[in-house]
Chain A
Amino acid sequence: MLPLFHPLMQRLDSDFDIDQDDVGFESQDKDIIPAKHAYEVDFTVYSPEEIQGHQDKQIAEVSNILGQPPEATAILLRHARWNKERLIDQYMEKTDEVLERAGLGDTADAHPPRLERIPGFVCDICCEDDADLDTFAMICGHRFCVDCYKQYLQTKIKNEGEAARIRCPGDGCNRIVDSKSLDLLVSANLKDRYQELLTRTYVDDKDHLRWCPAPNCVYAVDCRIKDKDLMRIVPTVHCECSHFFCFGCSLNDHQPAPCSLVKKWLKKCEDDSETANWISANTKECPKCHSTIEKNGGCNHMTCRKCRNEFCWMCMGVWSEHGTSWYNCNRFEEKSGHEARDAQARSRQSLERYLHYYNRYANHEQSAKLDKDIFLKTEKKMTQLQNTTGMSWIEVQFLDSASQALQQCRQTLKWTYAFAYYLARNNLTEIFEDNQKDLEMAVENLSEMFEKPIDQLQGLKVEMMDKTAYCTKRRIILLDDTAQNLKEGKSLVRSLVLVTCTNQPLGQWKFNVTLP
């Protein structure tokens, strides 16, 4: 197993007392195994049952304090966006108003929601005026025919995913459709969806809870990172479903680049996609014989089938010249000011600079996908090999570890290029690029071993296991260093703008963009 941080290690007791929310959080710290590295954050994964449990527990507690039945308390809490303290304060101060606003007031008791026929009524939504039209209005008096009201609620629930805070259809009316009215108007087949959405609002309303964005995943993650810290911490969390994602923005793990840089970068890639498209294409020409080459594995060491030319996929340079000196390939050599004086050349250079980073970014993204394909194929072949050589399933697991490490490292490498694109040159950037180079070299070595024919893989086992461990180690070092500097550089990072300034303070990241 890779020496990775595992969420199970820091799972709290299932009866984790979420009631204590902000005040009580420190008291829970003792239960959490502290994060080991600068790039790791504390978090907890919750199942749907646990989330329901937290809700029930809060409802029971607030129900006791307010002396309201649990059903009504649930409505009040949802209406208050699960802000328990504020609800209790406001309830104590102006009970009637709070009940009224959540649709639970005396008037609601005295006049339970019902359909009415009103002589001379014209529905403002469908313009019908039939005498036998059933109509509905809440206490705000905005009356519509029941068909329109139902259609409106159905659209909100089904198409727009709203539940706890659907507003009256009347123009500018802020009245929330209360649950009793919903019971009357929502058709049976929508009730399940409605209930589900109600449960979801609990997680949606809490800043420290987020749904895992993996498709069909039902878990939620609890992480107490503050929005203002997202500039200096990249909070990658690991769901029970095995998905790594960023708690700050829900995108796939993008360490070491902070959320705002990632956003900028993705926007840039989107904007520049037409110019950059050819680069990310899966085929290139052999630099020697110009026959079309398709990349079919994750490794950058290419051999042309036709002329046997060996070259590097990234820079198209001759492989023998930089098989062991990867630095030629990971760093964009800034060209001298001579050429840059010409405005045309400058814009070309800026595009070249972008393409340099984008090329490497896209390459790792693509390779990570290809590495996965290769593992699926290898897995199949290893099954056959097991049958012929007697190697056990356990004995071939080193390939699984290698494949996972490759994907994880490529994911990291990918984002190091987006990060580096925005870095202004200073000594820290040099160190960063050295780390990047080390990791990249290790990854390419492992990737190359990975592509060896099946009959050779058995003999490479020990070497591959070493390389896997080494890749993981290099990745941790890179992430740790970067995260450490990011944390310390907090005050500066926010206000930095300029690329060309040469008196940069040492020991802090300097970006050539303004970050929020």
Chain B
Amino acid sequence: MFASKRLGKELQKLHDHVPPGIKLIKADDFQEWLMDIQVIDANPLYQGETYRLKFMFSGNYPIEAPEVVFVKDDAHPIPWHPHVYSNGIICLDLLDRQGWSPVHNVESVCVSLQSMLTSNTKKERPPGDDNFVRYNTQRPRDINFVFHDNQV
């Protein structure tokens, strides 16, 4: 109820207008949405690629942060980034309990991720990506990431 009221309004706004490089793909309910993002400027790491984001909302959204992951399919790779694991899990303080503010919304998260990619120059995965991807069984919101830099 809390979430659906807010998400209804967000949806309306997204239908009216979306920032460049961001596209609403699927929003059939108030539990799970799909968004596509592209990096607009000429960063060679991300040229010509489109990334797909899955948003999952609890009934208490936006008081609680949504869970946001990159999803991989034939048309959508997982972008290279030192804070993006190869299974699509994102380590970003904005999405963490401590860093989240209920003022944020789907659009602002997309814009933040877009700019996180834009400013990146390293074709790298987070340290320990192999092990994390192999062994992690936790949902993103239950993982305690240590935020080693605040430059993202």
Chain A residues in the interface with B (C-beta under 8 A): 124-127, 144, 148, 151-152, 155, 159-160, 169-173, 270-271
Contact of A151 (CB < 8 Å), options: B2, B10, B101, B135:
B2
Determine if A125 and B135 form an interchain contact, defined as CB atoms under 8 angstroms apart. Answer: no
Determine if A151 and B63 form an interchain contact, defined as CB atoms under 8 angstroms apart. Answer: yes
Contact of B102 (CB < 8 Å), options: A152, A270, A271:
A152
Most buried by B among A127, A152, A159, A172: A127
Please give the distance in Å from A274's CB to the nearest CB on chain B: 11
Interface size in chain B (residues, C-beta < 8 A) = 16
User: Majority SS of interface residues in chain A?
Assistant: loop
Residue interface mask B106-134, A partner, CB < 8 A = 1: 00000000000000000000000001000
Determine if B135 and A271 form an interchain contact, defined as CB atoms under 8 angstroms apart. Answer: yes
User: Majority SS of interface residues in chain B?
Assistant: loop
For A172, list chain B residues within 8 Å (CB). Answer: 101
Nearest-neighbor residue (CB-CB) of A160 within chain B? B97
Separation of A503 and B124 alpha carbons in the complex (Å):
40
Determine if A169 and B135 form an interchain contact, defined as CB atoms under 8 angstroms apart. Answer: no
Most buried by A among B62, B63, B131: B63
For the A-B complex with A127-B6, A152-B63, A169-B103 known, give 17 more contacts whose Cβ atoms are closer than 8 Å: A124-B103, A125-B6, A125-B102, A126-B2, A126-B5, A126-B6, A127-B10, A144-B102, A151-B2, A159-B60, A169-B101, A169-B102, A171-B104, A172-B101, A173-B101, A271-B131, A271-B135
5 interchain pairs, CB-CB under 8 A:
A126-B2, A126-B5, A159-B60, A170-B103, A171-B104
Determine if B60 and A125 form an interchain contact, defined as CB atoms under 8 angstroms apart. Answer: no
> With A155-B63, A160-B97, A271-B135 in contact, do A148 and B102 touch (Cβ < 8 Å)?
yes
Most buried by B among A155, A170, A173: A155
Separation of A109 and B64 alpha carbons in the complex (Å):
32
Separation of A211 and B108 alpha carbons in the complex (Å):
40
Separation of A170 and B62 alpha carbons in the complex (Å):
12
For A124, list chain B residues within 8 Å (CB). Answer: 102-103
Separation of A151 and B63 alpha carbons in the complex (Å):
7
Nearest-neighbor residue (CB-CB) of B6 within chain A? A126
Separation of A368 and B97 alpha carbons in the complex (Å):
39
> Is the C-beta of B9 less than 8 angstroms from some C-beta in chain A?
yes
Nearest-neighbor residue (CB-CB) of B60 within chain A? A155
Determine if B103 and A127 form an interchain contact, defined as CB atoms under 8 angstroms apart. Answer: no
Determine if B9 and A127 form an interchain contact, defined as CB atoms under 8 angstroms apart. Answer: yes
Determine if A170 and B97 form an interchain contact, defined as CB atoms under 8 angstroms apart. Answer: no
Please give the distance in Å from A123's CB to the nearest CB on chain B: 10
Please give the distance in Å from B55's CB to the nearest CB on chain A: 17
Please give the distance in Å from B114's CB to the nearest CB on chain A: 17
For A169, list chain B residues within 8 Å (CB). Answer: 101-103
Separation of A443 and B102 alpha carbons in the complex (Å):
58
Separation of A271 and B101 alpha carbons in the complex (Å):
35
Separation of A430 and B60 alpha carbons in the complex (Å):
58
Please give the distance in Å from B122's CB to the nearest CB on chain A: 25
Separation of A151 and B1 alpha carbons in the complex (Å):
12
Determine if B63 and A125 form an interchain contact, defined as CB atoms under 8 angstroms apart. Answer: yes
For A125, list chain B residues within 8 Å (CB). Answer: 6, 62-63, 102-103
Separation of A171 and B131 alpha carbons in the complex (Å):
33
Determine if A151 and B5 form an interchain contact, defined as CB atoms under 8 angstroms apart. Answer: no
Please give the distance in Å from A144's CB to the nearest CB on chain B: 8
Nearest-neighbor residue (CB-CB) of B9 within chain A? A127
Please give the distance in Å from B101's CB to the nearest CB on chain A: 4
Residue interface mask B62-86, A partner, CB < 8 A = 1: 1110000000000000000000000
For A127, list chain B residues within 8 Å (CB). Answer: 5-6, 9-10
For A152, list chain B residues within 8 Å (CB). Answer: 63, 102
Separation of A160 and B142 alpha carbons in the complex (Å):
12
Please give the distance in Å from B5's CB to the nearest CB on chain A: 6
For A170, list chain B residues within 8 Å (CB). Answer: 101, 103
Separation of A171 and B108 alpha carbons in the complex (Å):
11
Separation of A42 and B95 alpha carbons in the complex (Å):
42
For B5, list chain A residues within 8 Å (CB). Answer: 126-127
Determine if B103 and A171 form an interchain contact, defined as CB atoms under 8 angstroms apart. Answer: yes
Separation of A483 and B90 alpha carbons in the complex (Å):
42
Determine if A171 and B135 form an interchain contact, defined as CB atoms under 8 angstroms apart. Answer: no
For A270, list chain B residues within 8 Å (CB). Answer: 135
* B window 1-29: CB within 8 A of A: 2, 5-6, 9-10
